[in-house]
Chain A
């Protein structure tokens, strides 16, 4: 089983749509969770951290279910500029032993 698993997509949605991405992770000892965004041939950039209580940043909402080892990202009112690959990232370990493990990414294209 992959350590971090995501639906690869692609997701093609019209502007203004709501889109949801899901992610599962296999290591129950995982410490922390993130969504990163990666534009074509660019470096990953942090979109948001994911907390057990759920968290929201503008149009973006992230949720974590530790019992199910499941993470989600919801994008509301999608914009053309949201087109990118969204990476589910899990931190295994802590301190000097931390290791970010990436999912394969879900590709999103927002269409005009």
Chain B
């Protein structure tokens, strides 16, 4: 069964450092998303991406965040200067098409900022 893969599974970084979280969505999917989940809290929308540009972004997705699809397969989330409160599980998701179809989530990257 096709799946969304994320790397690394766990990343520890020092406050102020840049991190890049990587995702490989399902190959024929067209819509890509990043969500985050702070431990014990709900899953929160960060950003959606379609046709090589951001479609929507939340208030959380400020200037410290950026997304890219550099090579047609990878979908990356960059946090420019990490803060302690960026510590969370980050999930990548993809959807095939415009119909109301299932969103497939990757297994997540646990980011710990120390």
Say which size band chain A's interface belongs to: 20 to 34
Interface size class of B (residues with CB under 8 A): 20 to 34
Comparing A21-29, A41-49, A60-68, A75-83, the segment that makes contact with chain B is: A41-49
Q: Which of B43, B51, B89 contacts A102 (CB 8 A)?
A: B43
Residues of B with Cβ closer than 8 Å to A?
A: 31, 33, 35, 41-45, 48, 50-51, 55-56, 89, 91, 93, 95, 98, 100, 102-103, 105-108
Give the residues in chain B near A104, CB-CB below 8 Å. 41-42
Residue of B nearest to A51 (CB): B100
Q: Which residues of A contact B (CB under 8 A)?
A: 31-32, 38, 41-46, 49, 87, 91, 93-105
Q: Is the CB of B89 within 8 A of A41?
A: yes
B51 and A96: CB pair below 8 A?
A: yes
B41, B48, B106: which has the most chain A beta carbons within 10 Å? Answer: B48
Chain A residues within an 8 Å CB radius of B100: 31-32, 49, 91
Q: Say which residue of A32, A43, A87, A96 sits within 8 Å of B48 (CB atoms).
A: A96
On chain A, the residues within 8 Å of B91 by CB distance are 43-44
Contact A103 B42 (CB under 8 A): yes
Could you tell me the dominant secondary structure of chain B's interface residues? strand
Name the one of A42, A46, A103 contacting B103, with C-beta atoms under 8 angstroms: A46
Say how far B99's CB is from chain A's closest CB, in angstroms.
Answer: 9
Q: Which 6 A-B pairs have the closest CB atoms?
A: A96-B50, A43-B105, A32-B100, A96-B55, A102-B43, A104-B42
